């Protein structure tokens, strides 16, 4: 049911933890399943993501997708990180069962929320970034699987 990569990232998640005095912190939840994700980003003055950590109260698929998402945004610029969609994360994991696709949205949205927090703290606008929702369960219904 799950790919080897999903199992690997679930069993050995990368970048779990928190960053003290992070440049941006974002928390999102999904009211339907009750899962919560928090992302911490450390962004340098050139706008490059130097470090990223996550904490989740989420299912196995949420753990695996967040782990992969953190690997994909680490070392990237803010703009590049915005291109790391949940679809890109799922591809990198060799796919997810359909019923678990929504879990991958938690990671994407938490990264967006952390970038939003960073932008607010620095009073800048990040091109292409909309204000993230704190509960993504509504968005999920509009998602085309």
Q: Which residue has the tokens 């990180």?
A: 81
Contact 58, 103 (CB under 8 A): yes
d(CA 6, CA 66): 11
SS3 at position 45: coil
59 binds ligand FES (CB under 6 A): yes
Element (H, E) at 67: helix 60-73
Of 61, 72, 84, 114, the residue at the interface with ligand FES (CB under 6 A) is 61
Q: Hey, which residues are catalytic here?
A: 33, 103
- CB of residue 127 vs ligand FES: minimum separation in angstroms? 29
Tell me the per-residue interface mask from 27 to 56 with ligand FES, x by CB under 6 A, - otherwise.
---x--x-x---------------------
DSSP class of 135: B
The residues with which 25 forms a beta bridge, in sequence order, are: 40
Of 72, 101, 106, 111, the residue at the interface with ligand FES (CB under 6 A) is 106
Q: Which stretch binds ligand FES (CB under 6 A): 59-67, 107-115, 117-125, 129-137?
A: 59-67
**Binding positions for ligand FES, rule: CB under 6 A:** 30, 33, 35, 58-59, 61-62, 103, 106
């Amino acid at each position: 049911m799950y790919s080897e990569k999903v199992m690997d990232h679930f069993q050995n998640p990368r970048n779990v933890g928190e960053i003290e005095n992070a440049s941006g912190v974002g928390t999102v939840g999904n009211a339907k399943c009750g899962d919560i994700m928090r992302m911490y980003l450390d962004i340098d003055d050139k706008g490059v993501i130097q470090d990223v950590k996550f904490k989740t109260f989420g299912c196995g698929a949420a753990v695996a997708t967040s782990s992969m998402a953190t690997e994909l945004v680490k070392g990237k610029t803010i703009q590049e990180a915005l291109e790391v969609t949940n679809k890109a994360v799922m591809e990198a994991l060799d796919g997810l069962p359909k019923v678990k696709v929504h879990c991958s949205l938690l990671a994407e949205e938490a990264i967006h929320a952390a970038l939003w927090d960073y932008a607010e703290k620095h009073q800048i606008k990040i091109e292409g970034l909309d204000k993230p929702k704190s509960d993504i369960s509504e968005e999920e219904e509009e998602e085309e699987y």
